[in-house]
Amino acid sequence: MIWLLETLMLNSRFPMTVDVLLKDRDSIAIRTVPTAPAQALYIGENKNAQIQILVKSTDQKQAMQRIEELVEQYKDLQRKLHLTYNNKYKIISADVYTEPSFVSMSEERFYVYTTILQFEMERMIL
């Protein structure tokens, strides 16, 4: 769901890529993961989306801190004034689906951490 990816990137203080981590340097990537459809509402239409965040850094502490900062920022996004990619959807809820955790250390000595957040959005009737 491009709307959610773009909205999250607009509201991050860190540069991000979509789907893949950069090869030779510290990076953050976000991507959608499969999720079950939401129940429709009478007024609009709800959508569920799960987003995986990947953080890669040669500094393990920095990787852990960045992923935790992103989780804290995004899980409260619906309660704060935030930028949106367009006005098609409104975030209703954002929950941590899997806590931030260590994935691996690459051959190039990068530490990789991940988390999955689940968002529920309402389609706005214009």
Render pLDDT for 21-54 as a digit per residue (tens, 0 to 9).
999 999 999 999 987 766 655 556 788 899 999 9
pLDDT at 65: 97
pLDDT at 81: 66
CB-CB contact of 99 with 118 (8 Å):
no
* Total domains present in the chain: 1
- Tokens matching residue 115: 């988390």
pLDDT at 88: 78
Render pLDDT for 2-18 as a digit per residue (tens, 0 to 9).
888 988 998 899 999 99
Q: Which domain holds residue 77?
A: 2-123
pLDDT at 92: 86
Q: What is the CATH number of the domain that holds 101?
A: 3.30.2000.30
> Which positions ≥6 away from 121 have C-beta within 8 Å?
3, 4, 46, 47, 48, 49, 89, 90, 91, 92
pLDDT at 61: 98
Render pLDDT for 102-124 as a digit per residue (tens, 0 to 9).
999 999 999 999 999 999 888 87
